[in-house]
Amino acid sequence: MDLFGDLPEPSKEGQSLYDDLSVQSQTVKGATGPQKRNADSADLSYPQDDKTSKIKTSVKFKLKGFFQERQGEREEMQDAHVVIDDYTKEFSKLDPSVYRLAIFAVYDGHAGSRASRFASQNLHKYLRDKFPKGDVTTIEKDIKKILIETFKKTDDDFLKQATKSKPVWKDGTTATVILAINDTLYIASLGDSQAFLCRYKEEAKKCSPIHLTTVHDPSLYEERMRIQKAGGHVQEGRVMGALEVSRSIGDGPYKNHGVSCVPDVKKCQLTQGDRYIVLACDGLWKKFKPEDCIAFTNKILEDSTIQGTDDKSADDLRYETACNKLANEAVFRLSADNVTVLIIAIQPNK
């Protein structure tokens, strides 16, 4: 049985570009500050060995992450992020059919920064330790289960630390994680951070946003029913009248009221029309609609006055500028929240 099912061709009208997966049974920004993981070269920086030629002749698309963040009006920066363009370096052994791994994530903390920092430092390591063995077909069958288990372990381990502390930590965080395996994306998310794919549609001669995540709003019927069955309630769109999201990592006081750490997991196959992904916390989306974000970003990416330097390509500088201006514009539009913007460039591998 194929657990995922082949995705429909993106060019066919009325068909979804990604489906919920079924289940059978880098820079890394953390509490101690950023740790550089990804290389700064224009090309992906894989080790110069036999794996390099394998990757460069096998993947159809190169992926590279860029980010910016703003504290805004908040007293503390509670967002965290992960950008690891070459996640394969984290593994000692992979089946030859797995020739590219990359991982990108945004964590939007609330009631403190400890949950988001913990998730940014540990979730991708837990995923590495639990990663399925075998070839890419076997991995595809197991990856949703492993992603869910990874989110649960991250939640469990953080809550253990939180309850041992005096006073008990009440921090929580959203989580949106994009895992690239070869040329397929797996998106695991909970909370209200969002990601969308900018895809050029030839028939319409324009770019359109493809949503890769679902906002977990306590007012949604399925979310509210789970909360009520657990003995909680939703008041003014918030769990127990306080928490804005119905799924999160951490938030110990709300876990007995139906707040879940189980993410939605979706799959998306990259296509020739794909340009980039914008992954950001709600500090951006409070002030940008997806279509507005695409138009704003594309204007910068098409700016021919932005030229390359000896250290960086013109494309890299344009993506960096786009991240920077999106974050600045969200603050300028009076987003009172922290703002973290991550753009994943998608380029054909020539």
Nearest to 85 by CA among 150, 174, 179: 179
What's the pLDDT score for residue 270?
Answer: 97
What does the pLDDT profile of the chain (350 residues) look like in tens digits? 334 433 344 444 444 444 555 444 356 665 444 443 443 333 333 344 454 445 544 789 999 999 999 998 888 999 999 999 999 999 999 999 999 999 999 999 999 999 999 999 999 999 999 999 999 999 999 999 999 999 999 999 999 999 999 999 999 999 999 999 999 999 999 999 999 999 999 888 999 999 999 999 999 999 999 999 999 999 999 999 999 999 999 999 999 999 999 999 999 999 999 999 999 999 999 999 999 999 999 999 999 999 999 899 999 999 999 999 999 999 999 998 999 999 999 999 87
Contacts of 151 (CB under 8 A, 6+ apart): 123, 175, 188, 190, 249, 261, 262, 263
Domains recognised in the chain with CATH numbers: 18-29+49-215+249-281+338-348 (3.60.40.10)
**Residue 224 to residues 13, 239, 252, 258, 263: CA-CA distances in angstroms?**
33, 9, 18, 9, 16
Tokens 């804005």 map to which residue? 244
Query: In the structure encoding, which two tokens stand for residue 338, read together?
Result: 């922290």
CA distance 28 to 106: 10
Place of tokens 């920086």: 45
**What is the C-alpha to C-alpha distance for residues 147 and 150, in angstroms, rounded to an integer?**
5
Q: Which residue has the tokens 């500088």?
A: 317
Within a 10 A sphere around the Cβ of 306, how many other Cβ atoms? 17
Q: Which residues of 68-92 are buried (b: 16+ CB within 10 A; e: fewer)?
A: bbbebeeeebbbbbbbbbbbbebee
Determine if the peptide bond prior to 218 is cis (ω within 30°): no
Quote the tokens at residue 266.
Answer: 């979706």
Mention every residue, 6+ apart, whose C-beta is less than 8 A from residue 280.
Answer: 106, 193, 194, 195, 326, 339, 340, 341, 342
194-197 long-range contacts (CB < 8 A, ≥24 apart) are 194/279, 194/280, 194/282, 194/285, 195/106, 195/277, 195/278, 195/279, 195/280, 196/277, 196/278, 196/290, 196/293, 197/17, 197/268, 197/274, 197/276, 197/277
The rounded distance, in Å, linking the Cα atoms of 223 and 57 is 44
